[in-house]
Amino acid sequence: MAGHETAQRTERFPHARSLIEGVYGLEAEIPEGLQEIDTTAEGNQKAQQGQGKLNRLHLEGGYSREHTNNWWDDADTPTRLGEETTQVWLAKWQDGELTPLHNTPPFAWQQSSLTVRRAVTDACESQVDIPADVLETCKTSLPAKGKWGLLMTLVSIASDLWQGITINQKGEKSPIYYSPEIGLMTEKEYTVTQGTDL
């Protein structure tokens, strides 16, 4: 039956294959207006391939310094190439205490962390005055004392809805929201959810 349908389609569109190949095929000519974008994309792809080859682990040599590109941290030797991300530790400011958002031992901070695109969150800022010693104590309780991520302080603005302040790579500040139902939301995403039950 499937072969019959294909034959019917071929009869209706006898030149379809050549049209499709002309746009999507390997030999397709790139329109003049898109050539610069194509060159940039190809350059980025080649750069990522080169970085990937540099970062690969040579199994025969193991983890010795001579055989690796200093495999220390995923930030310096990424295992995946693409958009830059960062680890964010979510802490709630409540009743004068700064604690992990999900405060269930023994892995409270791990359960309160997530990975966020650096384009969205390059830094965090507290929207309330939290004493410096409280912030410092909180940071020292983070895995690796927060060395490999950002501490995002959240305040409750409604039942099961928390708000923090994020700074993107352009230095622009904006509110960011967290709901157990939906997760972390940018201001735009939060606006879309208005009128829904969070």
Pairing of strands 85-94, 149-158: parallel
The answer to whether residue 72 is domain-embedded is: no
From 40, 67, 94, the end of a domain falls on 67
Environment class of residue 12 by beta-carbon count within 10 Å: exposed (0-12), middle (13-18) or buried (19+)? exposed
* Low-confidence residues of the chain: pLDDT under 70: 1-14, 57-59, 61-81, 195-198
Quick one: three-class SS letters along 82-146? Answer: CCCEEEEEEEEEECCEEEECCCCCCCHHHHCEEEEECCCCCEEECCCCCCHHHHHHHHHHCHHHH
What is the pLDDT at residue 17?
Answer: 79
Report yes or no on 78 lying in a domain: no
DSSP string, 62-73: TT-GGGSS----
Residue type at 78?
P
Residue 105 lies in a domain: yes
Is the same domain home to 47 and 106?
Answer: no
Please give the pLDDT value at position 168: 87
Given 33, 67, 101, the domain boundary residue is: 67
Residues 52 and 93 in one domain: no
Range of the domain at 57: 2-67
- On whether residue 76 sits in a domain, the answer given is no
- What stretch of H or E contains 52? helix 35-55
C-alpha 129/C-alpha 168 separation (Å) is: 21
Please report, to the nearest 10 degrees, the dihedral formed by the alpha carbons of residues 192, 162, 111, 87 taken in order.
70
36 with 91, same domain? no
In this structure, the answer to whether residues 60 and 90 fall within a common structural domain is no
Neighbour count for residue 116 (Cβ, 10 Å): 21
Domain count, the chain: 2
d(CA 110, CA 104): 10
Kindly state whether residues 164 and 101 are assigned to the same domain: yes
Domain contains 45: yes
- pLDDT for the residue 104: 86
Q: Is residue 152 part of a domain?
A: yes
Last-in-domain residue among 18, 36, 67: 67
95 and 189 co-located in one domain: yes
12 domain-assigned = yes
Q: What is the pLDDT of residue 140?
A: 92
Q: Peptide bond before 31: cis, by omega within 30 degrees of 0?
A: no
Tell me: do 93 and 167 sit in the same domain: yes
Grouping H, G, I as helix, E, B as strand and the rest as coil, residue 150 is: strand
In tens, the pLDDT along 120-148 reads 888 898 888 899 999 999 999 999 888 88
